[in-house]
Structure 1
Amino acid sequence: MKIYTLHTKQNLPISLDKAWDFLANPKNLKIITPDYMGFKTLSGDEKEMFAGQIIQYIVTPVLGIPMKWVTEITHVVDKKYFVDEQRFGPYALWHHKHFLKEIPGGVEMEDIVDYKVPMGFLGQIVHPFLVKPKLKEIFDYRKEKLIELFGEYKEQ
């Protein structure tokens, strides 16, 4: 069983409060997801984030085929981190940790995603040229969108 990890960091020139308010709001995930993914929240985004929250989405990750994705927010520490875990969806495992930390002149946002592709050996074969590049593309889009929304961080 191969488990892969995606690790990204981004600094934003905003306060910790502003970063948390945006990133911890499930409704904002659509804003930072590429349009071609057809991302739509079906339920679970009506309340402020809490541990145990179930959020249901429709997403079109590959070949224009819509897929239901169900995540659970398993851990929340206000203005520090939250964790979402896939309960149903395109991955055999999806465990996404979101960390926020105040830095001079802004906030550091860190994402660590541990994931396993489905279909065993076949999934491992397609991972390097299908899954991994697609995830990189999504997180690159997210980075650019956050810069567009909040500005580019300048070293202090």
Structure 2
Amino acid sequence: MLKRILVVVAFVMTLAGCAIQPNAEGQFSTVPVDQHDMVIYTCTGASQEFADFKPVPSSLKLIPLSVLVMDTGANWVATWDEGKIESPQLYKDLLGKVDGNLNVVTGERYYRVNGLLSKTPTFAYSTVNYKTGEGKGVTFFRCHEGSNPDTGTMLHPVE
């Protein structure tokens, strides 16, 4: 079961866009995402290092307990025992599938991938350098609405 979860994590990390190579087209529009009532999600989290825009498999770390993500539409805040990530104002992408923000000074990127199949979003944060491809990505996935007391649900089968 743990091996299956690791495969899912690796797949999600690849899709979440933590290490997208730069292009001249731009990803986000100048249209800010509207704020809505706060929605609280309980998610599974994982972090991974990147080298030359590729994930380093040995650096994959699952966050052992669940992550609480508060989403207001315009931004999101993720908290867990070892840290906290707060996104700035998010902007709509050109296709309407991903909301995000890019800090042009530090290179940090914040994403909310709008759920198409799962109906719940996936959240991601990246510090991958756009020139070298070196850095770290954090993804919060398998989110469900509500805050549950932390019971290590990641280690149990999906209900």
**Interval containing the TM-score (normalised by the shorter chain):** 0.3 to 0.5
Higher helix proportion = 1
TM-score, normalised via structure 1 length: 0.33
